[in-house]
Amino acid sequence: MKTTFRDLGLMPYQQAWDYQENLMQQIISQKLTLLKNQTINQFTDNYLLFVEHPHVFTLGKSGSENNLLANYIQLQAKNAEFVHTNRGGDITYHGPGQIVGYPILNLDYFVKGIREYIEKLEESIILTLKEYGIDGERLDGATGVWIDTGIPGRTRKICAIGVRVSRGVSMHGFAFNVNTDLSYFNMINPCGFTDKQVTSLQKELGKEMDFESVKKVLRKNIAAVFTMDFSENI
């Protein structure tokens, strides 16, 4: 399925959120028009956005502010924002060195339901980790991608996932820690967990990663898992 890929670079969270919302509404409008006209052999737009955010903590609609362990003065000292958002999930952190992926997709073309959609996002990350010699796993009762799920006290998260779907169109997505400053996670209970660690590709491999190279590997795997045909459009 033809999908437009856009790398937005470093962009403030609210600006990227507004950008996603506009694309989502565009696709929903296209869906309704095609349905009304019973149009065949025409398709809605689809987008995959990659972005980095300045330091920001985001709280999902099912999350608790109690999982933010810092006050606003401490956040300011760390040049970090705190934003209530409309995705699913609890609290997480975004910052430089993290690949944040926002698929804005008409899911009718790609999956049979939200559960399958999340599993495909997870699979894309798992395949990417495999190329770097890391065994990524799913954790029962939680979304995202984890490492060492069978070792008590060692289980750690390398990718968080939180999505919103409206009229079968997705937004928000995943946050994959590559060269992320993990100290920021000390200011929250990541995704609401108090007994799990957070990690990054850099930490697992003991070296700073070529960020652009990791993006290319991840984009390739997303394309394979979702059967996407990318066009580049800035």
pLDDT digits (tens, 9 = 90+) for 204-228: 999 999 999 999 999 999 999 999 9
Angle at CA of residue 84, ends 81 and 87, nearest 5°: 120
pLDDT tens-digit readout, 32-77: 999 898 877 789 999 999 999 999 999 888 777 887 878 778 888 7
Instruction: Kindly report the average pLDDT of the chain as a whole number.
Output: 92
Residue numbers of the domain that contains 87: 2-232
Residue type, 57: F
User: What is the percentage of the chain residues whose pLDDT exceeds 90?
Assistant: 73
CA distance 154 to 147: 8
Q: What confidence score (pLDDT) does residue 71 get?
A: 76
pLDDT score of 192: 55
Give residue 54's pLDDT. Answer: 97
Joined together, the tokens standing for residue 85 give 């958002």
Give me the catalytic one of 100, 191, 218, 222: 191
Q: Could you tell me the pTM of the whole model?
A: 0.93
Question: How far is CA 223 from its chain centroid?
Answer: 15
What was the pLDDT predicted at 234?
47
Told to judge if 191 belongs to the known catalytic residues of this protein, a careful annotator would answer yes
Number of domains present in the structure of the chain? 1
| CATH classification at residue 85 | 3.30.930.10
